[in-house]
Structure 1
């Protein structure tokens, strides 16, 4: 499944063939259908759900240990920049890549990506709430961060430049400051 996740991240769902996945995994072709009798679609769902949910750990890695919310968000977006540069703009978010491809053509995969995004929003709402934001404000900030991050990955990969990620991080920080300020005035 790790091979599928890596290939989907780099090539997208439609740009990844079963033969590529089996070759990358160094596995016999028949093993794919043994473990995933539903073929590529079932593998795709599993990859989306498993790898997508693993990204929730980024909140624990960057946001939870931060001395303050703004520092955590800055570290989060800086890591996005570092990933893009380290991978020569090949790696972005595999969930967004697949979601864009299948949103109107493959309902099981669309549901899988929606479930992952929902889990991210729920996790971010909880983590941001620990910095003193109310539930609604924490949810707004989470959706802002996910929107900005995903959009920045698309632009950065296309332009082969990290400016969009830096701008997205700064915009998310501004929203966080505004929400923290509003919360302090309550």
Structure 2
């Protein structure tokens, strides 16, 4: 598999562990063990250690997640139906993962907001990328760019909040409610075409 395979395994293991347990609770030895990689290979690929690995993981998994959500939204032509389906899919995925895997950066974002500026900036930039992508998507139905951006922020906020509530309650219903709420917001803001 070579070096690129080892690096990919380290990134993959770190993504899962940071997503489930957060930054502080995830040690490099555990990442190496989960990745089936020599401990020293983490420093080979990420000389800055845990912080560099976490920043890379946030940016990489965040971008992948954003593209996945946008593809899911683009899979249905009606925006209201698309949003309901996307949130329903998130609810199903979360339940199937036994409420362990939600947003790839949410757990770390909450944890490092006031303790690690490098990782805080990385999560903030990923969230802004998501808002930018969603603003473009909403712009298909809303003529006012500020309204499209407001919907984009609402999408990210409702998704993140619903993930938190669903995980705490171990119940997918908050995600379903958030999807219906987003559909109502789009309905209220949409320009007939």
1:92 aligned residue (87, 99, 102): 102
- Residues 1:153 and 2:158 aligned together: no
Is residue 48 of structure 1 aligned with residue 58 of structure 2? yes
- Per the normalisation by structure 2, the TM-score is 0.90
Structure 2 residue corresponding to 1:63, chosen from 73, 76, 84? 73
Give the Cα separation in 2 of the matches to 1:149 and 1:101: 18
Q: Does 1:6 align with 2:16?
A: yes
Report how many aligned residue pairs link the two structures: 183
User: Does 2:120 align with 1:110?
Assistant: yes
- Could you tell me the TM-score, scaled by structure 1's length? 0.94
Structure 1 segments unaligned to the other structure (5+ residues): none
- Segments of structure 2 that go 5 or more residues without pairing to the other structure are 1-10
What are the Cα deviations for residues 103-128 of structure 1, in whole angstroms up to 9, with x where unaligned?
Answer: 00000000000010000000111112
**Aligned residue among 121, 135, 157 for 2:145:** 135
Tell me, in whole angstroms, the C-alpha distance in 2 between the residues paired with 1:135 and 1:167.
Answer: 26
Deviations for 1:39-70, whole angstroms, at most 9, x for unmatched residues?
Answer: 10000000000000111213432212312110
Match in the other structure for 1:178: 188
Q: CA deviation at 1:13?
A: 1.2
Distance 1:76 1:145 in 2: 11
Q: Secondary structure at the match of 1:56?
A: helix
Structure-2 separation of matches of 1:30 and 1:113:
26
Counterpart CA distance in 2 for 1:167 and 1:132 is 22
Pair 1:123-2:133 in alignment: yes
